[in-house]
């Protein structure tokens, strides 16, 4: 775990903080598709990603999901931190996009580090800024892009966060993420394939336009 922690966060945190993270962090490994955190759950710890990727989702009153953003190696989720400090229940759902390794940091320790380490303060503030920019990008995508453009961007984002241009996913799963129907997704995927943006096999899409 030492190597993974230093590899993921060594450029951000000083050795003393890395040692404290290792001492209090609880190592956790989750498989692709597993829900790490759900809407309404009481949050007791914040994740630091060592490997893999997590997608963050919201849910409407009808139970339909909307993908907000991805977090990957070296990241954390600022919305989780906000809920921790406010002692509120989770307003998001976090699902492993790939097999993922992470450290779960207790709430109390995070507050101590905010006062003790400038590097931790900067990390949290940078995380807030990054997530806010991604949320604004999501809003812009919903407001201004055509559905085929949204679909291509979604596939490109998935490929980038997993560092693999081959995506193993069903048309229905994409429809859930984009808050649309499987029929629409299938039709637009065929269009993207005709346009030379992607190639398709059963439950597998290769993104050519990255």
CATH of the domain at 183: 1.10.10.10
pLDDT in tens, 29-48: 999 999 988 888 887 788 88
Mean pLDDT (the chain, rounded): 85
Q: ∠122-128-131 over CA atoms, to 5°?
A: 135
**Portion of the chain with pLDDT greater than 90, in percent:** 30
pLDDT in tens, 124-133: 888 888 888 8
Cβ contact 130:79 at 8 Å: no
- pLDDT at position 78 over 70: no
Is 77 exposed, middle or buried (CB count within 10 Å of its CB: 0-12, 13-18, 19+)?
Answer: buried
Q: Which helix (H) or strand (E) holds 122?
A: helix 118-144
Considering the domain architecture, whether residues 56 and 135 belong to the same structural domain is answered as yes
Structure confidence at residue 1 (pLDDT):
46
Q: Look at 177 and 77; give whichever has higher pLDDT.
A: 177
CATH number reported for the structural domain that contains residue 104 in this entry? 2.60.120.10
Structure confidence at residue 79 (pLDDT):
63
């Amino acid at each position: 775990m030492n190597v993974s922690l230093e590899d993921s966060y060594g450029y951000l945190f000083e050795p003393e903080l890395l040692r404290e993270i290792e001492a209090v962090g609880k190592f956790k490994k989750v498989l692709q598709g597993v829900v790490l955190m759900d809407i309404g759950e009481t949050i007791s710890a914040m994740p630091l990603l060592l490997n893999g990727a997590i997608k963050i989702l919201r849910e409407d009153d009808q139970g339909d999901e909307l993908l907000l953003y991805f977090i990957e190696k070296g990241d954390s989720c600022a919305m989780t931190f906000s809920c921790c400090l406010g002692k509120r229940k989770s307003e998001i759902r976090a699902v492993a996009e790939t097999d993922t390794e992470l450290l779960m940091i207790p709430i109390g320790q995070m507050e101590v580090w905010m006062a003790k380490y400038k590097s931790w303060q900067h990390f949290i503030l940078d995380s807030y800024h990054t997530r806010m920019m991604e949320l604004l990008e999501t809003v812009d995508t919903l407001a201004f892009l055509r559905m085929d453009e949204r679909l291509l961007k979604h596939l490109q984002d998935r490929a980038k966060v997993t560092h693999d241009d081959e995506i193993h996913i069903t048309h229905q799963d994409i429809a859930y993420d984009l808050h649309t129907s499987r029929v629409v997704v299938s039709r637009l995927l065929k269009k993207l394939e005709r346009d030379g943006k992607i190639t398709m096999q059963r439950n597998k899409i290769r993104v050519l336009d990255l």
